[in-house]
Structure 1
């Protein structure tokens, strides 16, 4: 389990490397487009504070649109990385705590993007952060906050997902959720030639109701609730929560405002798969894990994939070749390997063992 102040030194070079597939250009462009769809209602040349903005992944392209952005983050490593990448626009990087922001009543907008809320262990610290944001805003200024939706996360957990870096390092992400504490506990384990690298963190994930209560207690008025940057209505099944709240003052975004954003599929880096949906391939005769797939079993599996009885994250690559090796995790799960990449197999109404029930070893 992550230590209480894990966030102080968590966001380093290894974080940027391991999270690279998640925070790619496509996701960043999608988030920036969504923010611009909101900002267009507020006018040009805005003063914006990006709270927990890291290396300015979002702030830099927003500044290039003509706005002044102050990035506040506790990580010196992330801030230095961001400052080195500034290619234009008005961006200032400030090391500081989100509970004590360097602006006082001068910001038109505050961002808190990509689930950067809920890091603190003490419950009152999150309200303190919202109050600091409210203090940084001008009267009528807006907070735009994007995070995980607690209800959806609770139903998805536990999740374990494999992904691969450009250098073919395999990374296992684990996500667990404590419904009593309302906290996620996550881990990244990178398996590379030099050994294993592990990073752990924990985050308080709030319900919409809790956010509504905290925002009002901080002096902010919730105005819009969306399913992330899709701008679809926020509901029980929404994976993400994008909220827009205003500090009392002139209202700039009309209640019936329309937010135009191209509708497109965006790969968010991780496609969650439940442990309960995975299956070990076993020999029907011995009930032991298979160490290889003969031509007959491979043909059966490919047929099941083809007619939709079995879905895989490997797609067509899975159907082309399987080398038969198995990687076991927690004693009950196995992954066939395609080109040395673990492939998670998801079943729909079919246990993979049943697929081979008629085959004698």
Structure 2
């Protein structure tokens, strides 16, 4: 039986998340550049790059970028964008990368973490971040804030995208935030296409332990890309920055 992340990042994902824009990615990358403090031409790995929004913005900012993702559909979209030829695109599981490392920075953005059931599997990801970085290399991991998600969770929403009806149900269950997505074609009819997304809810202290277990050093936690300091109750995100010692 396939894991949810092996089936959910396909053609329908492009419909569900069409609203994610490249302009927003440029704003976020501008902030990341300040946090990373990297010289022009530095090597950056975008781990779980998706459709390549941040990889392309990092490349345009003057970095040598490699984008890695498990989804061939999302990588196809990334390769179709303007400027994509300047980025190296690789299909791989984030727990076992076909790369030798030597990167100045690794970024893992918009909750592309916590996909696995066992903590040991998440640590494998972080150990790969360690292995990819040169000594003194820096990382950013952008994760959701569990307390904020729990407090502001929208249990159910319905919207339309052209001919497609998108029905999304969300719940907190057994330490995970789970989303069920149903897509129905209004014209063609037929049964809905169903997908699940599941992310393990790690607290700040949990993350400290995971990052330490991988040999990385956590330096700061931000609550957003607008430089707000992290607040356990009110911040939308937990954005971790740190270094390989």
User: If the length of structure 1 is used for normalisation, what is the TM-score?
Assistant: 0.63
Structure 2 equivalent of residue 310 of structure 1: none
- How far did residue 160 of structure 1 move? 1.8
Structure 2 equivalent of residue 238 of structure 1: 235
- How far did residue 109 of structure 1 move? 0.5
Structure 2 equivalent of residue 9 of structure 1: 7
Structure 1 equivalent of residue 202 of structure 2: 206
Q: Distance in 2 between matches of 1:230 and 1:26?
A: 15
Q: Of the candidates 17, 20, 41, which is equivalent to residue 18 of structure 2?
A: 20
Structure 1 or 2: more strand by fraction: 2
Q: Distance in 2 between matches of 1:230 and 1:164?
A: 30
Q: What secondary structure, in the 3-state scheme, does the structure 2 residue paired with 1:31 have?
A: helix
- How far did residue 234 of structure 1 move? 0.5
C-alpha contact 2:4 2:197 (8 A) present in aligned 1:
yes
- How far did residue 80 of structure 1 move? 1.9
Q: Distance in 2 between matches of 1:88 and 1:200?
A: 29
Which residues in structure 2 correspond to 1:140-155 (within 5 Å)?
A: 140-155=136-151
C-alpha contact 2:52 2:78 (8 A) present in aligned 1:
yes
Q: Distance in 2 between matches of 1:4 and 1:230?
A: 38
Q: What secondary structure, in the 3-state scheme, does the structure 1 residue paired with 2:80 have?
A: helix
Question: What are structure 2's unaligned runs of at least 5 residues?
Answer: none
Deviates more, 1:100-109 or 1:133-142: 100-109
C-alpha contact 1:66 1:89 (8 A) present in aligned 2:
no
* Deviation string, structure 1 residues 89-129 (Cα, Å, up to 9, x no partner): 63111111111123334010001001100111222100111
**Structure with larger Rg:** 1
Q: Distance in 2 between matches of 1:198 and 1:219?
A: 39
Question: What are structure 1's unaligned runs of at least 5 residues?
Answer: 249-361
Q: CA RMSD in A?
A: 1.9
Which residues in structure 2 correspond to 1:70-85 (within 5 Å)?
A: 70-85=66-81
- How far did residue 168 of structure 1 move? 5.7
* Runs of 4+ deviating beyond 4 Å: none
Q: Distance in 2 between matches of 1:104 and 1:228?
A: 31
- How far did residue 158 of structure 1 move? 5.3
- How far did residue 169 of structure 1 move? 3.4
Change (3 A) 1:29 1:105: closer
C-alpha contact 1:146 1:228 (8 A) present in aligned 2:
no
Change (3 A) 1:84 1:36: same
Structure 2 equivalent of residue 172 of structure 1: 167
C-alpha contact 1:144 1:243 (8 A) present in aligned 2:
yes
* Deviation string, structure 1 residues 155-196 (Cα, Å, up to 9, x no partner): 23352223332x163322222112xx3211102223431233
Structure 1 equivalent of residue 221 of structure 2: 225
User: If the length of structure 2 is used for normalisation, what is the TM-score?
Assistant: 0.91
Q: Distance in 1 between matches of 2:98 and 2:225?
A: 28
Q: Distance in 2 between matches of 1:29 and 1:37?
A: 13
Q: Distance in 1 between matches of 2:132 and 2:205?
A: 24
Q: What secondary structure, in the 3-state scheme, does the structure 2 residue paired with 1:198 have?
A: strand
Q: Distance in 2 between matches of 1:164 and 1:111?
A: 32
Q: Distance in 1 between matches of 2:7 and 2:105?
A: 27
Structure 1 equivalent of residue 53 of structure 2: 57
- How far did residue 88 of structure 1 move? 5.5
- Equivalent pairs, count: 241
Q: Distance in 1 between matches of 2:3 and 2:206?
A: 23
